[in-house]
Structure 1
């Protein structure tokens, strides 16, 4: 993954995130909750995830984004 500058606009961050190879392949990406909230805010992030039809879960300070429209099951 390429290094981002310390200051990046929310729009550029979103483009960078959703242009990742894993996204294009329908995989998963992970981002720190603190980084998301600092850079673009939780509401904007969730809007962008929903707009693409993806799913996201939060655990241990991380967002895990499932970059496809398949159901997500939590198995215990």
Structure 2
């Protein structure tokens, strides 16, 4: 596992992510799992999502955070499986 760069402070990074415009407005943001794990750690990131009453999804290489407590519903077009690039 690659270490965290010296110039990135975990607390500052976490505050900036959760202070983004999308987060403040109840929107959605995504971050790469490897960056979250490298900079602040999965547990700290998900604890902050939980503390705010928000929801996080993990899909492939990304965490997707819904910055509200609204229900999440999986939707697809047609009868085909959802696949990128099709």
TM-score by structure 1 length? Answer: 0.87
Q: Name the SS for the 2:12 alignment partner.
A: helix
Q: Which residue of 1 aligns with 2:46?
A: 46
Query: How far apart are the structure 1 equivalents of 2:62 and 2:42?
Result: 12
Please tell me whether residue 9 in structure 1 is matched to residue 9 in structure 2: yes
Note the residue ranges of structure 2 that are not aligned, 5 or more in a row. Answer: 77-86
Matched, 1:56 2:56: yes
Aligned partner of 1:35 in structure 2 is 35
Shift of 1:6: 6.5
Q: Cα RMSD between the aligned structures? A: 1.5
TM-score of the superposition, structure 2-length normalised?
0.77
- By relative contact order (CA 8 Å, sep 6+), the higher-ranking structure is 1
2:34 counterpart SS class: helix
